[in-house]
Structure 1
Amino acid sequence: MGKKLGELNSEDKQGKPNHVIRISDCDINQERLACMKRRTLESPRLLNNSSGRSSCSIFRVPQRFIETNGRIYEPNVVSIGPYHRGKPQLQMIEEHKWRFLGSLLSRTESKGLTLEDYVRDAKRLEQKARECYSETISLNSDEFAEMMVLDGCFIIEVFRIVGKLVTPDPDDPILSTFWLFTFLLRDFLRLENQLPFFVLQSLFDLSKMPEEEKYQTGGGHSPSLAMLALGFFNHSTLDRPHEVIERFRNYQPKHLLDLLRSTYTELTQEERKGKPVTHLIEPVTKLRRSGIKLKQRISSDNFLDVSFRSGVLEMPAITIDDFTSSFFANCVAFEQCHRHCSNHITSYATLLDCLINTYKDVEFLCDAKIVENYFGTEGEVARLWNNLGKDTAFDVERSYLSSLFGEVNDYYCSGWHVQWAIFKHTYFSSPWSFLSAVSAVILLVLTMIQTFYSAYQYIFPSKNKGN
């Protein structure tokens, strides 16, 4: 019996196995087929092919993070870059960007610069700038250049005014309105709200005026763009010392978020790698019961400089408010998306996620002067850190805190000091438990004395009778 179409031909004419499947004739939509072939040749748009390269550093925040942490990744008043461009709720500042650009143009026309020069400079960097975004940008060349000039010059003008290189109008509605200024601080550090730093640097160099040289810093030079940016962010609760700002004078980060992040991560020593770490550490409440002490580290202003020695976990003080919570969330998102950077902020966030389980843990950290809370209730602070640690990919072996995790775990799980600490915590943590423990000891001693005399009288009855 012959084989039907659609069956597997098991042998060819020479009797050898043949695994070709013959499919019976059917109608194929050729137009649809052509469309499928075109799709196989198209590059992805929402996460393009260049997203895994080191040059790509400005990402859409993963939806899972947004579902967990809410709008902490979205700009409140100003759009920078293409991702939030044109949103209705951001149009107020969009109008003022043109005013800031006009002010810059009127100041630099004495150098012979026109708007055409700035647009030409932006177009020169267009392709390199596009490769910095994980999402394919639909703007055409002219629109993309306009965006870079408008947004970049706005940022630079704000930095120059705050850095006192440019004398502002004292009644400027953008910089004299306190609530608006605080939102600018946060919006300039949103991961989705970034321009490549080399674009800002090029526009800054192009627009630099000779009179700016008279504004010299401690090093005898006019401030660089990186220094002006860090000086601007010093109006927040993450205040960097002058020596740190000077050290980052010529630093070339990926963008503004990476710049402020780097002033902490680049100055943190990598810890010595110990034995492999299999699990993270326990919350504050359990660590204290095992005899581990937590105290503020006075010798450092870098919150990443955490140490553990002789049963004492030392942590520099950190202020938790709307600014720092936004900074941490966007840094964690950046480190999760950009595999070419360290995971320092993620490591620190994971450490606090481990230490903080309930509001009681936050209360102790506040009492120990490790956490200064301007964010909300202790319960809200606990939820903040628990959410930041949720659904993040964290490799403890790759963490700068890997040896610290291991040392804390070893101390927590071993030795007589742990049993002694648990005993002290159980019986001497309050006056009532202390009195109960003392009463129990006295009762035990009296019982032992009574038992001793009863046994003595039983063993030596004649001596007792003689007496």
Structure 2
Amino acid sequence: MSMADNSVSEQEFRSVANEEREEASPPEVSILIPSAKTTTESQVRRRRIYKVPPPLRANMEHVYDPVVLSLGPYHHGRPQFRQVEEFKAEILNRFVSGSVAKDKSFFFNKILEQIDEIRSYYEEGSTNEFNDEALAEMVLSDACFILHYMELEDENEYHPLGMSLVSFMFRDFLMLENQIPLWIIRYLIGLKYDKDEGEALFYKFLSFMNFGDDRLTQIPWDNDNGSEPLHLLEAHRTTLLGQGKEFIRDQPRFLPRLLGFRWKRWKRKISSQSMFKMESRPFYSVTDLKAKGIHFRPSSNCLTDVRFHSYPFYGLLQLPIWFVTNNSMVFFSNMMAFEMSPEIDTDCDVISYVNFMKSLLETPRDVKELREKGILFSCLGSDEEVLKMYKQIDTYGVNNCGLFLDVKTRIEEHCSSKAKTWMADLIHTYFRSPWTAIALFAATLLLCLTFLQTYYTIHPVKNN
């Protein structure tokens, strides 16, 4: 269920917001607020921001619980968040005094009008301890804090909190249980900026957070068809899965459900027997593939952009670029928890990417190879730590077996070819370094000279 398919009360909320915006200044707000659509009763069931299921949380609280920053009702009010909560109040005052010349009550009342709508985004009963006013105050403060973070051009703004809090704050933004509905954030953006400025702020923020640059030139989803993400975590996921798909048009993208395979999407026939044969044994590691004559090259930043090309004398496997940080495990774990949440219809893209990388990385040598090829970048201390990070991510047996099945099948065919394997072994053995190549050339030349000497000894050249 998309954010655009909201109830009539939210439609009224948007229309009132647009009227207020028109009175304050000419620019429009409507593009930054999810558009209302006429829906049937079966379509209005909305997606919720669910908590991480208890089986996933077991002994993993450090991955799913925020440390210094609370957003939304699930972790609000804990003592460790007091310092940041005080800073939130300061940020809210800045927003009220410097945005559209409205007092705090204006924004508070706008949120309060939709408080029942906001409650419906969280698990039933999880907001009962907050009355309407307290929940509205919380959501407004959190949304303003996120907007302030999106506007930052200089991280020195956070120095009053101390660098230790700042580093953990970036991590807490990635928590599944630390989210508020995205449309609230975009509503405040619409009140403060005109349409073009607001969109530019948003896609530049997503670009910097995910790629470290300003490559995005538009929001990576279509607001008109109701595909706006539920929250910022899903917005990051949409951004990472949307980049690079234009480069894989030559390869059919297989998008099955976990257990239902759409075989008609394939250009080649793949038997279910061969599929389960591949899935029932460990896949090749990077070192194994390299020994089979397969080279590695970066593809794009899209996590599902995995391509393989087989040539007569070698193969080429292209993998997504990823920058490994101290927060990577938190990011992947919470993203996978989102993909496994109720009422979330995904193809488990992130889970499948993690499973595929775990199958490729068996030793630090595998990490080293991908790092040298510009596929993996790391700010960790060693290749061993990168390997440990991937291995510690638990996917709980969930996988979209078909997402990379075409790539795995092509790799299997390449590695099963005796001619290509023999040629790869020859190159790997005798041409892996200039010295072995020179030694092979010298031995071959010596053998030819010996043959010629023997021939002319037996058949001497006659004098004319």
Which residue is 1:139 aligned to?
A: 129
Other structure's SS at 1:90 match: helix
Once residues 387 and 431 of structure 1 are traced to their aligned partners in structure 2, the CA distance between those partners, rounded to angstroms, is 39
Q: Give the count of matched residue pairs.
A: 375
Q: 1:150 aligns with which of 141, 145, 151?
A: 141
- 1:409-424 alignment, distance < 5 Å: 409-422=412-425, 424=427
Once residues 177 and 331 of structure 1 are traced to their aligned partners in structure 2, the CA distance between those partners, rounded to angstroms, is 28
Q: 2:92 aligns with which of 91, 97, 101?
A: 101
Return the letter of the residue paired with 1:198: W
Change (3 A) 1:77 1:258: same
Return the letter of the residue paired with 1:252: E
Which residue is 2:12 aligned to?
A: none
Q: 1:405 aligns with which of 403, 408, 411?
A: 408
Once residues 98 and 399 of structure 2 are traced to their aligned partners in structure 1, the CA distance between those partners, rounded to angstroms, is 49
Which residue is 1:258 aligned to?
A: 234
Which residue is 2:289 aligned to?
A: 287
Once residues 374 and 291 of structure 2 are traced to their aligned partners in structure 1, the CA distance between those partners, rounded to angstroms, is 19
Give the conservation status (yes or no) of the 8 Å contact 2:220–2:238: no
Q: Does 1:332 align with 2:320?
A: no
Change (3 A) 1:68 1:287: farther
Change (3 A) 1:415 1:131: farther
Once residues 431 and 163 of structure 1 are traced to their aligned partners in structure 2, the CA distance between those partners, rounded to angstroms, is 49
Q: Does 1:194 align with 2:183?
A: no
State the 1:403 CA deviation. Answer: 1.6
State the 1:355 CA deviation. Answer: 0.7
Which residue is 2:355 aligned to?
A: 350
Which residue is 1:223 aligned to?
A: 198
Which residue is 1:183 aligned to?
A: 168
Other structure's SS at 2:121 match: coil
Give the conservation status (yes or no) of the 8 Å contact 2:339–2:346: yes
Q: Does 1:317 align with 2:290?
A: no
Which residue is 1:359 aligned to?
A: 364
Once residues 210 and 361 of structure 2 are traced to their aligned partners in structure 1, the CA distance between those partners, rounded to angstroms, is 22
Change (3 A) 1:441 1:328: same
Once residues 443 and 377 of structure 2 are traced to their aligned partners in structure 1, the CA distance between those partners, rounded to angstroms, is 41
Question: What RMSD in Å do the two structures reach over aligned CA positions?
Answer: 3.9
Q: Identity rate of aligned residues, in percent?
A: 25
Return the letter of the residue paired with 2:306: V
Structure 1 residue runs of 5 or longer lacking an equivalent are 1-52, 165-169, 446-467
State the 1:254 CA deviation. Answer: 0.6
- 1:32-111 alignment, distance < 5 Å: 55-67=46-58, 71-108=62-99, 110-111=101-102
Q: 1:395 aligns with which of 381, 394, 400?
A: 400
Other structure's SS at 1:408 match: helix
Q: Does 1:380 align with 2:385?
A: yes
Which residue is 1:302 aligned to?
A: 302
State the 1:255 CA deviation. Answer: 0.3
Which residue is 1:121 aligned to?
A: 110
Structure 2 residue runs of 5 or longer lacking an equivalent are 1-43, 255-264, 449-464
Q: Give me the TM-score of the superposition, normalised by structure 1.
A: 0.68
Change (3 A) 1:153 1:174: farther
Which residue is 1:238 aligned to?
A: 211
1:359-390: per-residue Cα shift (whole Å, max 9, x none)? 11111111222111212321221121122254
Other structure's SS at 1:223 match: helix
- 1:201-212 alignment, distance < 5 Å: 201-205=186-190, 208-209=191-192, 212=193
Q: Which has the larger radius of gyration?
A: 1
